[in-house]
Structure 1
Amino acid sequence: MQNDLSKLPQIQALLEQPHIAEVVQRYSHSEATTALRQIIAALRAALLAGQSARFPDFTSVEFAATLSAQIDATRAPVFQPVINATGILIHTNLGRARMASQAISAMQGIGSAPSNLELDLATGKRGSRHSHVETLICALTGAEAAVVVNNCAAAVLLSLMATAGGRNVVASRGELIEIGGSFRLPDVIAQSGATLREVGTTNKTRVEDYASAIDADTAVLLKSHTSNFRIVGFTASPDRRDLAKLAAEHDVILMEDLGSGVLIDLAPYGLPDEPVVADILKAGVDLVTFSGDKLLGGPQAGIIAGRADIVAQLKAHPLMRALRVDKLSLAALEATLRLYRPPFDPVKTVPVLQMLAAPLAQVETRARSLAGSLAAFDGVQVAVHESAAYVGGGSLPEQALPSFAVSLRLPALSANDLATALRRYQTPIIVRIERDHVMLDMRTVWDGELPALTAAIEQISTG
């Protein structure tokens, strides 16, 4: 082994080889050096582990090509588009909601040129970035005023810091939720500088529980929409209108965090439990926080809508600058919000709503089209099955949406190996596994993505 280790070439000597010198000129000295060190380190590790290592011809064109390929791999984008065949419409790990083409175009336009981000074109003086979407949000929700920050957790944090810092926040024990990434609502309340007063029990909270907790230090009654879990059976929670009346009587703020948040009624599409922002404000809630990148179908953003005097406090708070939304997100959000107004129909133009509202027959047709293409490949076992898709993104985890999926098996690969191969394809394909079959759910796949799916499975099955 010691003799073999002595055969490992010096990096500097390799860099002086003619074919490798060409690689250095084509890329850079540092990239070539790093790649060579990695190759030599792998050979050394194999020898030290007692394995037989096959030395390449370091002077050959073939080795230079291998070196180039290794450098190209490091230059390839890490952040890239994937095909979502999981059946989860708003997949947090896959970037949540797809955005509409109008939102993408708006981002491109604003990103490729100077813009009036903080310039009032009418007066020529400094303007506010909040003004670009505030009017739209108010028109769609009935709010007096609105402001946007970079995500919904930020919206809750800012709202509590500005209204309840150093005072009490009253919340039901049954609504003290934990959101993605182990972030818990009580922790957010604590970070805001407010003190949490828990009321009621896990399964039952009444208006009287809130009323008994209100004192001179109370600033906010906080409701949270439990979109990511459900308590069934012996349960009770107060009506928003009763809480709004209680808050008004005691001159405290009623705030509600929706987590997701929708602007239209989704009951016709199988989601009857997702409250509409306008209805919540109409019920008397003073401030509502919701997300831009979930069921609304836009970019990541935290939207705050409600009373003008409270929103003015938020805009003036020092934390606002740290949480403010960027120009690309604003452009995408404005374009998305416009799709909720005539002449547009959001169910036909906002991708997440398109997937949600797609007729089951359309999903089945897509599944049978893909299955028909795949059946032509030798060794591919394919079938179409009824399936269940889900909204995802922390929204309605138990609310299944009828769907169709294509199941796949390859004799030479386990389901896990096939899923891995699809995930490592040039356009990664993300699937789910059921009963040792790879499942491609067609509710989250576009027609335009079928050729890429077909090409990937053909290459894997013949490779």
Structure 2
Amino acid sequence: MSVPPPPGAQNTDPRRRIPRTDHLLAHPEIAAATATLSEHVVRDVVRAAQDRARSGQITPEQVLEEVLVALGGRPAASLRPVLNATGVIVHTNLGRAPLSAAARQALADAAGYTDVEFDLTTGARSRRGAGARAALLAACPEAEDALVVNNGAAALVLATTALAGTGEVILSRGEMIEIGAGFRLPDLIASTGAQLREVGTTNRTHLADVTDALGPRTGCVLRIHTSNYRVIGFTSTVPVRVLSAPCREAGVPLVADLGSGLLAPEPALAEEPDAATALRDGADLVIASGDKLLGGPQAGILLGRGEIIARLARHPLARAVRADKLTLAALEATLTGPVPPVLEALRTDSDALRERTEHLAARLGGELVAHDGRVGGGGGAEVPLPGWAIALEPELAGPLRIGDPAVVATVRDERCLLDLRCVPAEEDERLVAAVDAARALRGAAR
């Protein structure tokens, strides 16, 4: 038998002191948060704090403070900008290519209503992405036509689906690539329903391997650049210029997947393939990525013969993988604007980088050390980019990552290395402040 509580005992329950939801939402600072956050997000933050008070994790008097802290400066999106001090230019985990100022402005301009499929002169519907297409053809005049989809994998899926259907795609065993997160291109091709016809061996594929496989079921011959690894030693591959003649004679499209996004030769990466050269060498279709060495937004770029591009554009899958207006705007601005940050970082002068790094190293009490940058993102495999870095105490790496601004460095040989190759010069003062704050945080934690 339960014993009834003494008179007034209910009033001693601390949960009765938890501020009411309507009172909290009426607080000026909480109400102001709805300018950047939706009402339901603000309510969720309030309820979370109230629940913590009900469970005894905080006192009722701490609810308001916790809500204000949770809402303070919180953006609508959770992605945080970071300073990339790793020296890896196209860093997949950090969003690959940083967009140019022109591309960022184009994104902002395209965020509202735009004439993406509308001719303002005639008032009639127009071709989607006409500006981006024109910019691509101007940058790569070797192509008769161009098509933009949402990423490189989508471009490969569209190409193999439209050209091969349930037929065969001929691919060298030495080009059966696995990229990040266990993603395998042969599996991607097989998912379309096409039959993968493997030829050659891992290290050596000859022209006869390809020509012997050509037949009535061949939908296309695929040449994939091994962009994220190299096979050295006793090797042999068949260049596009050698493959083109037998493919043309057999009436089979030759597709070159570059992996990266170079539209023309890049002196800093002499062995990296580019779209212009591949097309001149006889490729019927070239696949490139907009967010790799091109330095633009994530996009799959298809360049080549007009009839091939038209065939892909008419396929029902093209609608499912088409690029949105923001991608088209940013891609066009990347192509027509100034040199994007990716190419600036790639072409950084080593002496100038040393001078800048040496200056900041002196300010930070760090050591100037030689440090090779990398292209990253599956481009320029094993190609070092000679440069310099600031060596600091390794314990700073963690506080730098959680600071404001967040700074991502490299920890190697018990040193925290800050490579300035990908850090804009105008961010130097913020970088110095971030290191000072990280040291202060580390000191307070001792």
TM-score norm. by structure 2 comes to 0.89
Matches of 1:233 and 1:25, distance apart in 2: 66
- Residue 289 (1) aligns with residue 287 (2): yes
Superposition map of 1:113-132 within 5 A:
114-132=113-131
Note the residue ranges of structure 1 that are not aligned, 5 or more in a row: 1-6, 44-54, 340-345, 376-381, 410-414
- Residue 222 (1) aligns with residue 226 (2): no
Q: Which residue number corresponds to residue 70 of structure 2? A: 70
Q: Which residue number corresponds to residue 454 of structure 1? A: 432
Query: What's the offset of the Cα at 1:265?
Result: 2.1
Task: Deviation per CA, 1:118-158: give whole Å up to 9, x if none.
Answer: 01334321111142222222232211111000001000000
1:16/1:148 Cα in 2 relative to 1: closer, same or farther (>3 Å)?
closer
Q: Which residue number corresponds to residue 95 of structure 2? A: 95
Task: Report the residue type matching 1:127 in the other structure.
Answer: S
For residue 196 of structure 1, give the secondary structure of its aligned residue in structure 2. Answer: strand
Query: What's the offset of the Cα at 1:79?
Result: 0.9
Task: Report the residue type matching 1:15 in the other structure.
Answer: P
Q: Which residue number corresponds to residue 305 of structure 2? A: 307
1:280/1:34 Cα in 2 relative to 1: closer, same or farther (>3 Å)?
same
Counterpart contact for 1:387–1:405, Cα < 8 Å? yes
Task: Report the residue type matching 2:89 in the other structure.
Answer: L
Matches of 1:397 and 1:239, distance apart in 2: 18
Query: What's the offset of the Cα at 1:257?
Result: 0.6
- Residue 418 (1) aligns with residue 408 (2): no
Q: Which residue number corresponds to residue 367 of structure 1? A: 357
Q: Which residue number corresponds to residue 278 of structure 2? A: 280
More moved, 25-34 vs 230-239: 25-34
Task: Report the residue type matching 1:352 in the other structure.
Answer: V
- Residue 388 (1) aligns with residue 372 (2): yes
Matches of 1:264 and 1:173, distance apart in 2: 27
- Residue 80 (1) aligns with residue 80 (2): yes
Counterpart contact for 2:403–2:437, Cα < 8 Å? no
For residue 153 of structure 1, give the secondary structure of its aligned residue in structure 2. Answer: helix
Q: Which residue number corresponds to residue 406 of structure 1? A: 390
Larger strand percent: 1
Q: Which residue number corresponds to residue 46 of structure 2? A: 32
RMSD over equivalenced CA pairs, Å: 2.3
1:119/1:73 Cα in 2 relative to 1: closer, same or farther (>3 Å)?
closer
Note the residue ranges of structure 2 that are not aligned, 5 or more in a row: 1-11, 32-41, 442-446
Counterpart contact for 2:29–2:68, Cα < 8 Å? no
The alignment of Structure 1 onto Structure 2 pairs a total of residues equal to 420
- Residue 158 (1) aligns with residue 164 (2): no
1:33/1:133 Cα in 2 relative to 1: closer, same or farther (>3 Å)?
closer
Matches of 2:119 and 2:303, distance apart in 1: 23
- Residue 237 (1) aligns with residue 221 (2): no
1:64/1:121 Cα in 2 relative to 1: closer, same or farther (>3 Å)?
closer
Matches of 2:434 and 2:359, distance apart in 1: 16
- Residue 436 (1) aligns with residue 434 (2): no
1:250/1:29 Cα in 2 relative to 1: closer, same or farther (>3 Å)?
closer
Matches of 1:200 and 1:224, distance apart in 2: 14
Matches of 2:313 and 2:29, distance apart in 1: 53
Q: Which residue number corresponds to residue 146 of structure 1? A: 146
Task: Identify the match of residue 326 of structure 1 among 320, 324, 336.
Answer: 324
Matches of 2:381 and 2:78, distance apart in 1: 30
Query: What's the offset of the Cα at 1:39?
Result: 5.1
1:189/1:15 Cα in 2 relative to 1: closer, same or farther (>3 Å)?
same
Counterpart contact for 2:117–2:128, Cα < 8 Å? yes
Query: What's the offset of the Cα at 1:18?
Result: 11
1:94/1:131 Cα in 2 relative to 1: closer, same or farther (>3 Å)?
same
